[in-house]
Amino acid sequence: MIAQPPAGYCVDQGASAAQGGGAVVLMGRCSGDTAAVPALITLSVGEPGSSAVLQSGAKALSDYFRSPAGRAALARDGKAGSVRVQQTSVVDGALVLRVVDRAVGDYWRVIFGLRGRLVTISVRADDPAQGRRIVDLAMAAMRQANPATSE
């Protein structure tokens, strides 16, 4: 799978890691690109077959992340009380969340399946509206770089 950032953003090779069949990739505004909004983009790609967790559908996943167990899974410190899920929506089959975590602040997260793998993209930007736009662009870039196959 190709880790493709949206235009104006670059992969931080030194801060990214692959292990087993998955990967965590950090992205930020490319050096010298002042047109792109400053943001931290975190891409997580699961192992082959990991998208099976999405079979219950986006609504069930949304309900899960609003539950204490789901908020604890989102929380940097693992405590449900540290996280508020501000907003959820489904866009092109992907679950989009706006989350506020005491440890890291306000961010957007999108969760979707791509070529049988679970993909999660998180975006932290100073302006939540800009963060939403960037998470949408990041999802589109990943889908374009990794088209569905007949595998």
d(CA 115, CA 107): 25
Place of tokens 């930007």: 125
Mean residue pLDDT across the chain:
91
Domains for the chain: give ranges and CATH numbers.
9-145 (3.40.1000)
Mean pLDDT over 6-23 rounds to 88
pLDDT level of residue 29 (50, 70, 90 thresholds):
very high
Is the pLDDT at 150 greater than 80? The verdict is no
Cα 1 from Cα 144, distance rounded (Å): 11
**pLDDT at 14 exceeding the cut of 90:** no
CA dihedral 113, 116, 50, 125 (to 10 degrees): -30
Do residues 102 and 71 touch, judged by C-beta distance below 8 A?
A: no
**What is this structure's pTM?**
0.91
User: Can you spell out the DSSP letters for 58-94?
Assistant: HHHHHHHHHSHHHHHHH-TTS-GGGEEEEEEEEETTE
